[in-house]
Structure formats: C-alpha cells, structure tokens
Structure 1
C-alpha cells in the first residue's frame, strides 16, 4: 500500500498561504474558509490599541480572498485606453490616448468569476496571486474588475469557460502602511455602503420637512432641530471616518458634520429655520450623499488595470517612493 502523498498543487497552495500570511501585518488574522467554493480565506483586520503593540482589537472589517499561485506567471504590459464612464454607458475608448500598465496574467475559471459576481459589490473579494518563485503576492478586487473591466470589454464573458485577469504589478502586497492603503479601503467597503444608504435616508427626511417630497412632514422648529441633531450624531457614529486620509472627500464631510454639531450646540434661532434646513440639505447632506456617486465612479476603479486607476491610485509608500 502506498504511503501518503502530496501533489505539487498542494505544495503550491501551502506556499501561497504562507506567503500571504507573511506579507500581511502580524495583527491581522487569516481565517481559512474550509472547502474551496471560490473563497479560500478571509482576512480580518485588527489594529493595535497601545503603543507597545501588545494588544490589538478587531476593526470589524474583512477581506474575502481567492488565493491562487503559480510558478510560471506571465508578466507583460496591457494598454489601458482613456475611456468614458462604463457605469453610464457602453465602452468608448480613445485609441490615441493610453498608458501601458505592467501586469501579471492569470486564467480564472468562469465558475469562480460568477461566484464573485453573485456576491454583489458590498463584500470585497480579492484575487491574490502568489508567484511561488519570487514569493511575491499581487491583488486585484474581482468585484470591481468584473464591473469595470470584464463586462465592458466582453459582454458575453459568461459564455466562456475562463477569462484572463490582468493584475497590476503595482498591486504588490507589502507589510508597509502605504502599501496597505488599498486593503484597508476594501475592508471598509461594507461599512461605506451602509453609510451611503443611511445618508440617503436622512436627506429624504430633511426634504420631507422642507416640503420637497410628495409627502410633506411639517414639524415644529424644535422638533426639526432635534431631528437634524440626531442625524448628525448617528452619522458621526458610523465607523467610516478613520483611515480615509487618502481620500479627501471623506475628511471634508467629516469636518463639516463636526462643524454643524458645534454650531447646533450654540443654538439655532427660530427665524433661521428654513435657512438652516436649506444649509443642511443643499450643502451638508448633498455632499454626504454624493460620496456614493464618487465611490462608484472613482473609488471602485482604484487599483484596476485601467487608465483612470493609474491617475487615482498608489499613494506614497512609507519609504517616500511612488509606485
């Protein structure tokens, strides 16, 4: 009877898990997802809570990972053309305006792609490709890749057995704070979508008080001020404001909410009722609800092999260099 054996694929799988674990901060936890149904592991984000880094607490943020490995990755360049917003219409590219992006190619089975697509866009699923020769790891967000690259370029993709995924080499996973920006941003995604829905609800209720909706909700001035104060308190409690120093609109809206809270503590005059509500709806909550538009058009295209991504991604790394 033969002894127990290990296949080369099993060896590569073990290497890929080890490499991923070594590339991530020590305080982050990698949970195995068990049987392979398209998701191999879940990375739970933690941050240290004291200066001596002896105690870390969970951020309540997770990354779902499809972990792949290869010892014969094809590295090449991909032409990324300037194009219109694919969330608003069919793909229109300017073949005269393009950038060349260094990428790693990986053939992904359609069953994996369709599994990720069925999960929607609020839960980030990252394809992590490990080069078992160099022990480098690269990532791309599959949810965004499907919507922003795959479908626009090949609307009949689902009829194929597999598709080539182009992963930017600049998306290397490194245990450096600047290089972790993307992973931290993806980890907050579900919180962001929850906040977007909340802001939209709050704005609609302010509109009702202003008579801008089909059902007027006329309330006394004191009640209106109390409602706005409640909205501000709830908005500020959302765990989305930290860790977004790389995206200025988040910082702007956070500061505006803090300023509004301070002004309300000083009191709002009765004669300023309508002006106050207009300021809240047309300025504060207009910008809050516009975050979701910018997120769809800009943030979801970060770190993809696209023209826009080269302009908006890759902040400075800890060593001061740019990727």
Structure 2
C-alpha cells in the first residue's frame, strides 16, 4: 500500500500555510508537537535596519493551538454588561448588551485543562483557520478561561468539551493594527517579570521609610543610591517599546525618565523624606498598579464580552 495522508493532515498543512501568509515575514513559526496540546510557538522578530534586510529576535513569543475547519459555525453571542469577574461572581445587567459576531469552536476539556495548568504568564492562543474563506481568528485561551468560562460555568471541568466563542473582529491580517494584540501577547511574560520587580522595589522603598517590620538603618546616601539603582533597573526592562496600545506604560516610562533626570541634579538631604514619599506614593504606586490594571482590564481585551467590545478595537472607541 502506498503512503497516504489523512484529511486532518491536509487541513494542518493548509492552516500552517495560511497562518504563515497572514503573519509578518520576519516572524518565525516553530513546530512544537500537537501531541501535547500545543502545535507551534510563534517568535517575534523585527527589522533593525532601514533597508529591512536584517531582523533581530525580540525575545517575545506566544504558544498556539492551531485548528482548521471548512464548516465553522458563525453566530452572534449576546454579551451583557457585568461586574468585574476578577473580584467576585458573575453579576450581569440584562438591560445593557452587545450582540457580537463570533466563530464557534468545540474545544476538548483536556486542552482547556492543559492551558489552565500552564497559568497566565505564557499566552496560549487558539488560532482558528477557516479553510474555505481562508480567514484566521484568534482568542487567548488563558484569558478566556478566567474571564469567560469560569465566571459563566462553574461546573465546566465536568464537561467533555466547551464551546469557544471567537469574535470575528479578532481576525489576523498582516497589517499593523491587526498585529497589535499578537505583539501584546508576545510581551506578556516580560510584563509579569516587570510587575514582580516593581513590587519588590516598592517594598524596599517602604523599608527605607520605616514602613516594614524589618527596617535597617540606611544612610541618606545609601538610600538615594538605592533609588537610583531601582530607576536604572526599571528602565532596562524590555517592556517600554512597542506598547502604543496601552498608554499607562508610556506614562510610567515618562515618569521614570523624569525621576532619573531629577536625581541627576541631586537630592538634598533635607528633602529626603519628601523624596521617598514621591517615589513610593507616586512613581512606584503607579508602577505597581500596572499589574492590577493588567489583570482587570488588559486580560479581558479581545474576549467575547461587553467590556472587551467597547475597549479592544479602534473603531469602537
């Protein structure tokens, strides 16, 4: 008997080809092995020269579950205005709603459990390929589990499959605006690393202020040097570029830069206490609050929810 190919293998080849066409040519698709629930890893690169002949890795990537179908079910999902599901159970206002055009896909619970076990720091995108229309849609499964599945179905784990609703606005195209969410997901692990760093730094500033259980005696000079070190380390974090989609990042970068410039002019010893208050209650308060906003706001972007619909897409602002 001659070698044969299954229909699934053919669809897989088609989906990889179409995905490759929709992504920037400089991005790399690494095969991962579908037996483990992850089909590929997409690594982000950018050109570093004006002639666009040399590309450099950004150290950013996201994992992909790649699915293909020639008979996708397209429907509308009614999304009601609701309370913050990160703070409590699901509460909805049935008088405020948006009907969202979506593509439906049945995902095995084993795939969902795998994604949930990985956590939130490594984004895993379900990328659905319509082999008829050759359109491709994405949804971040880590966020979908926390922001949609768990609030809406507390007994989801007992199911064999779960319907995933992917907004049609989440179409992947090789144009700048369409790639913004993918670039944002690529930065996620860097973001969580920076959030952890900022929290550590704020704790140590509180220690300088005597606001912790253990408060060693630190001289004025040593304290100022510590803050200077914190600023330098914070500014070295690779989160500040290509974040036009989220303005708080730009604000914090500007504030850190301004603090660095002020410190270069010197800090007077008589102003030390006020200086520490400024650092803890303004600069680092806002830096650490980035983590809170990321959890409450950013992780719900591009979901099939009311809030996501009014905050995620340029034409809805």
TM-score (normalizing by structure 2): 0.99
The CA distance in 1 between the partners of 2:309 and 2:216, in whole Å, is 47
Matching residue of 1:150:
149
Matching residue of 1:230:
229
The CA distance in 2 between the partners of 1:154 and 1:137, in whole Å, is 27
Shift of 1:8: 1.2
Note the aligned Cα RMSD (angstroms).
Answer: 1.0
Matching residue of 1:215:
214
The CA distance in 2 between the partners of 1:125 and 1:168, in whole Å, is 17
The answer to whether the 8 A contact 1:202-1:231 is kept is yes
Shift of 1:35: 4.4
Q: Secondary structure at the match of 1:44?
A: strand
Matching residue of 2:288:
289
Provide structure 1 residue ranges, at least 5 long, that are not aligned to the other structure.
317-321
The CA distance in 2 between the partners of 1:92 and 1:29, in whole Å, is 42
Within 5 Å, which residues of 2 pair with 1:115-154? 115-154=114-153
Within 5 Å, which residues of 2 pair with 1:150-299? 150-299=149-298
The CA distance in 1 between the partners of 2:35 and 2:28, in whole Å, is 19
The CA distance in 1 between the partners of 2:288 and 2:218, in whole Å, is 23
The CA distance in 2 between the partners of 1:70 and 1:36, in whole Å, is 19
The CA distance in 1 between the partners of 2:97 and 2:35, in whole Å, is 38
Shift of 1:213: 1.1
The answer to whether the 8 A contact 1:246-1:315 is kept is no
Q: Which consecutive aligned stretches of 4+ in structure 1 deviate over 3 angstroms post-superposition?
A: none
TM-score (normalizing by structure 1): 0.97
The CA distance in 2 between the partners of 1:143 and 1:82, in whole Å, is 21
Within 5 Å, which residues of 2 pair with 1:28-177? 28-177=27-176
Tell me which moved more, 212-221 or 64-73.
212-221
The CA distance in 2 between the partners of 1:115 and 1:315, in whole Å, is 32
The CA distance in 2 between the partners of 1:3 and 1:99, in whole Å, is 53
Distance 1:90-1:105 versus aligned 2 partners, 3 A rule:
same
The CA distance in 2 between the partners of 1:47 and 1:218, in whole Å, is 47
The CA distance in 1 between the partners of 2:160 and 2:256, in whole Å, is 49
Shift of 1:214: 1.2
Matching residue of 1:301:
300
Q: Secondary structure at the match of 2:35?
A: coil
Shift of 1:49: 0.2
| Cα distance per residue 1:182-236 (max 9 Å; x no partner) | 0000000000000000000000000011011111132111111000000000000
Q: Secondary structure at the match of 1:60?
A: strand
Q: Matched residue pairs, number?
A: 317
The answer to whether the 8 A contact 1:207-1:213 is kept is yes
The CA distance in 2 between the partners of 1:72 and 1:25, in whole Å, is 27
Shift of 1:311: 1.4
The CA distance in 1 between the partners of 2:131 and 2:265, in whole Å, is 61
The CA distance in 2 between the partners of 1:108 and 1:145, in whole Å, is 12
Tell me which moved more, 303-312 or 141-150.
303-312
Q: Secondary structure at the match of 1:171?
A: coil
The CA distance in 1 between the partners of 2:44 and 2:252, in whole Å, is 25
The CA distance in 2 between the partners of 1:39 and 1:234, in whole Å, is 34
